[in-house]
A and B are shown apart, each in its own frame.
Chain A
Amino acid sequence: MKTLRCSIIGFGAIGQGVAEVLLLKKEFLEDTGLDVRVVAVVDSKGATIDPDGVDLADCLARKREKGTVALEKITGLEVIKSVDHELVIETTPTNIETGGAGLQNMLAAFEKGRDVVTSNKGPLTLKYRELVESAKVAGCIFRFEATVGGSMPVINLANEVLAGNNVRSIKGILNGTCNYILTRMMEERASYTDILAESMELGIAETDPTYDVEGIDTACKLVILANSIFGLDATYKDVDVTGITKITPEALEMAYQNGHVIKLIGEVSRDGIHVAPRLVPVNHPLAVGGTLNVASVDTELAGEITVTGRGAGSVETASAILSDLISIYREQ
């Protein structure tokens, strides 16, 4: 039995999802010879630390009751630097302007020789090259499937599962909020403003939905794909971005009468990176509805391969973190 000591840095929806998944999968992981021991759980107010492994159920309960998991005042950065462990699971809130705490956490982790698995897009969108090189120099493993498409595999699909099959382009719906809004506008023949309000009430859109509806979130994910799959040294500036704020119910209606839906499509290839609303035939594989994500990978040997799944959700996103964790162990 191999012991894998990890920290969960950031205990919001996704961090808690990771804790739930680790609890759920404890036996399965042990059966594969892996004793996953969470030695620290950290949120913005502090941490719970135990070198022999914290009680995850306790942590979840405390977070629910008290709003924080903290038993001692210490930052994620300090935990990464001072607590002995092999893997940092970085799930702090994403900041695409500065990279936020996440960027510092990841760099510190590599400096300490710790592997990183993350769902945090910001640092990767801003400093992909620097992060990947820091990991390489330190001999650490760095995986981030959960940053794009949530539970829906894209990065590992293109780079690992489709090894040898050159990827020419990837296009799809990478933002569930926008997909929900456009789907509901069509269903209800309602205005953009009305459906946006509905999405916010349901928690599908944030209080400030700008990043989603302006296509910024999709653009960030495409930057990560451009770097990790196409090896392009791309940044946010290289993306041509148009969001959904101008889409009308009339346009959706006319499109539908002509056999099309309108979806916010993100597209990346060596020719460019684009986010824009597009006309999609109703029976096209990319015409999925609700909050689903979908990605179509155009491969050299096999044409288009399409995956669809849930792009958000705490346990759903945590499932991608789990599979990254398992694959690191397998590699070792």
Chain B
Amino acid sequence: MRVSMDIELKDVPGQMLLALQPLSECRANLITVLHHHQKLTPRKTVPVQLVLETRPENIPAIKAKLEENGIKVVRVGEHRFRESINVVLIGHVVHTGIQDTIDEIDKTGFAEVVDISLSMPGIDLLSSAFIKINALGKEEIQKALNILKEVSTKKDLLMVLPIDIQA
């Protein structure tokens, strides 16, 4: 999983090594390092932004080792899903099990439903849902859409895809 970390180094030589060693020890892959040496913080520390590829369970260990080395960890953020897609579903969206539809996507581990708007104008009328799905990458988006397509066919829902997606 991709993780971003904002850390602060003391403005003395050798600090960067102390920052990178824990990453190496915990077998994290370094993707980006932005070392803002000219932009000291009010605490006179050097801000560094890292993006690493690592397993979620390694993050507490990395954080602990950095702090052991006297490096302040200011923020840890996850960049897990890089691709996003919007889909409209029309039909008896809720009554055919909306939770189930969402679960089918979420349980894959490579995609998740992050937003859903629902409109149910009346008992005999069709409902509409606007769904936003995030996924690890373009391939995973396609897989998630295939799952959604199966679910939609089963539940007799019309799926409206974005124009740039392969049908």
Contact = CB atoms under 8 A, between A and B. Distances in A.
Interface of A: 171, 240, 242, 246-248, 250-251, 253-255, 257-258, 260, 262, 265, 267, 271-272, 274, 276-281, 284, 286
B162 A279 contact: yes
Interface string B119-153: 10100011111100000000000000000000000
Contacts of B34: none
B84 to A, nearest CB: 11
Nearest to A243: B158
| Max chain B Cβ within 10 angstroms of own Cβ: one of A279, A280, A286 | A279
Interface residues of B, number: 21
Given A254-B117, A254-B119, A271-B166, A277 B160 contact: yes
B133 to A, nearest CB: 13
Contact of B126 (A246, A271, A272, A277): A246
A272 B121 contact: no
Given A248-B121, A250-B121, A254-B119, A279 B158 contact: no
Given A242-B158, A250-B121, A262 B167 contact: no
B167 A248 contact: no
B86 interface: yes
Nearest to A248: B128
Contacts of A286: 163
A257 B86 CA distance: 12
B50 interface: no
Nearest to A240: B167
Contacts of B162: 260, 278-280
B163 A278 contact: yes
Contacts, number: 71
Contact of A265 (B86, B129, B163): B163
B161 A251 contact: no
12 contacts: A246-B91, A248-B126, A248-B127, A248-B128, A251-B88, A251-B119, A258-B130, A260-B86, A278-B163, A279-B86, A280-B163, A284-B163
A171 B163 contact: yes
Nearest to A251: B128
A254 B130 contact: yes
A276 B167 CA distance: 9
A246 B90 CA distance: 7
B119 A279 contact: no
Nearest to A263: B163
Contacts of B88: 251, 254-255, 262, 279
Nearest to B165: A278
A230 to B, nearest CB: 16
B103 to A, nearest CB: 22
A110 B21 CA distance: 82
Nearest to A267: B167
Given A257-B130, A258-B86, A277-B158, 17 more contacts: A171-B163, A242-B158, A246-B91, A247-B158, A248-B125, A250-B128, A251-B88, A251-B119, A254-B88, A254-B128, A271-B166, A272-B167, A276-B167, A278-B161, A279-B160, A279-B161, A281-B163
A159 B152 CA distance: 38
B68 to A, nearest CB: 46
